[in-house]
């Protein structure tokens, strides 16, 4: 299926690794042009080199910015559009709140989680969606997480930020639909990325087991008998960002392999 993404300028936050990087690879396969935004310049440089090895003729721009800072986020948006033109698609995959046991939580943990997950998205969406509205065209996709739907004792702060992102996504879809903008979100569950390793460490510590046993317990609960790959999440992201999903907006899609059988 041609997703009609050729030539579209896609800005991906957190695009240097994990799900964001898998999305970048997928968009390049569809002949899009990319801006990758992440905090660490060296990681961005390596990601760009990896992508250009696979797609030698691709246009891949990078911008290093701390997206918890609204001024740096605005700079990244300006830099992207000044370099490659107006952004057609925004994919937010940057930031993650650290998993912490309830007994160790402090008010600062809750604030840090909102900065790390919620405001890294808001600070990029706010200037960009307004520009999209002026052009009467654009798509925003927020990669959130199932922790916003189902509370986990080890992920309360991040789950709260995720829940806020879900409401924001649905609300912006309604607010900006009249301007031709679509906003959607996907909620992956455990996915084979570096972030999964961090979660396994916390889970193993909480249950006094090793990481291998923690992962085995997770897999045993999965109806499909495995955890997802970053590429599988990216496939859903690409479709929702494409014109093939032109009447899908305000959707919050669970990507959890049916481990949480919700009707929504």
pLDDT digits (tens, 9 = 90+) for 80-129: 999 999 999 999 999 777 778 888 999 999 999 999 999 999 999 999 99
pLDDT at 55: 98
**Mean pLDDT value of segment 171-180:** 98
> Is 55 part of a structural domain of the chain?
yes
**Which ranges of the chain would DSSP assign to H, the alpha helix?**
18-29, 41-54, 70-84, 107-113, 120-135, 156-176, 194-207, 211-221, 230-241
Global pTM reads 0.90
- Cα–Cα nearest to 241, from 58, 30, 85: 30
> Is 264 part of a structural domain of the chain?
no
SS3 89: strand
Q: By mean pLDDT, which of 78-87, 191-200, 253-262 is the weakest?
A: 191-200
> Is 263 part of a structural domain of the chain?
no
Cα 163 from chain centroid?
14
Q: What is the CATH number of the domain that holds 194?
A: 3.40.50.720
Number of domains in the chain: 1
Give me the long-range contacts of 178-182 (CB less than 8 A, separation at least 24): 179/132, 179/133, 179/136, 180/132, 180/133, 180/136, 180/137, 180/138, 181/129, 181/132, 181/133, 181/137, 181/138, 181/139, 181/140, 181/249, 182/138, 182/139, 182/140, 182/245, 182/246, 182/248, 182/249
Domain limits at 202?
Answer: 9-255
C-alpha span between 263 and 96 (Å, rounded):
26
> Is 4 part of a structural domain of the chain?
no
> Is 31 part of a structural domain of the chain?
yes
For 196-249, the pLDDT digits (tens) are 666 666 666 666 787 777 677 778 888 888 888 999 999 999 999 999 999 999
Under 8 Å between Cβ of 43 and 17 = yes
pLDDT at 186: 97
pLDDT at 106: 94
- Does the structure show a pLDDT above 70 at 5? yes
For 133-167, the pLDDT digits (tens) are 999 999 999 999 888 888 888 889 999 999 999 99
> Is 199 part of a structural domain of the chain?
yes
CA dist list (Å): 108 to 29, 96, 100, 164: 41, 15, 12, 18
> Is 98 part of a structural domain of the chain?
yes
Element containing residue 60 per DSSP (H, E): strand 60-64
- Cα–Cα nearest to 88, from 30, 168, 145, 42: 30
C-alpha span between 51 and 29 (Å, rounded):
10
pLDDT at 102: 87
Q: How confident is the model at residue 16 (pLDDT cuts 50, 70, 90)?
A: very high
For 19-77, the pLDDT digits (tens) are 999 999 999 999 999 999 999 999 999 999 999 999 999 999 999 999 999 999 999 99
pLDDT at 200: 62
> Is 90 part of a structural domain of the chain?
yes
pLDDT at 220: 81
């Amino acid at each position: 299926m041609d997703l009609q993404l050729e030539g579209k300028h896609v800005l991906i936050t957190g695009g240097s690794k994990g799900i964001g990087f898998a999305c970048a690879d997928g968009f390049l396969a569809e002949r899009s042009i990319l801006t990758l935004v992440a905090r660490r310049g060296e990681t961005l440089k390596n990601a760009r080199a990896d992508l250009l090895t696979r797609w030698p003729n691709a246009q891949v721009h990078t911008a290093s910015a701390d997206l918890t800072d609204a001024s740096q986020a605005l700079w990244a948006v300006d830099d992207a559009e000044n370099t490659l033109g107006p952004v057609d698609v925004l994919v937010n995959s940057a930031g993650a709140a650290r998993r912490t046991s309830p007994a160790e939580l402090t008010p600062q943990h809750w604030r840090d989680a909102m900065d790390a997950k919620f405001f890294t998205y808001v600070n990029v969406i706010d200037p960009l969606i307004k520009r999209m509205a002026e052009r009467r065209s654009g798509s925003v996709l927020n990669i959130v997480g199932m922790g916003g739907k189902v509370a986990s004792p080890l992920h309360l702060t991040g789950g709260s930020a995720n829940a806020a992102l879900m409401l924001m996504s649905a609300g912006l879809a309604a607010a900006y639909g009249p301007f031709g903008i679509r906003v959607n979100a996907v909620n992956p569950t455990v996915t084979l990325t570096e972030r999964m390793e961090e979660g396994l460490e916390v889970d193993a510590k909480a249950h006094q087991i090793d990481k291998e046993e923690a992962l085995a317990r997770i897999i045993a609960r999965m109806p499909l008998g495995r955890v997802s790959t970053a590429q599988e999440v990216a496939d859903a992201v690409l479709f929702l960002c494409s014109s093939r999903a032109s009447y899908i907006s305000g959707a919050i899609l669970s990507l959890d392999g049916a481990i949480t059988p919700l009707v929504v």
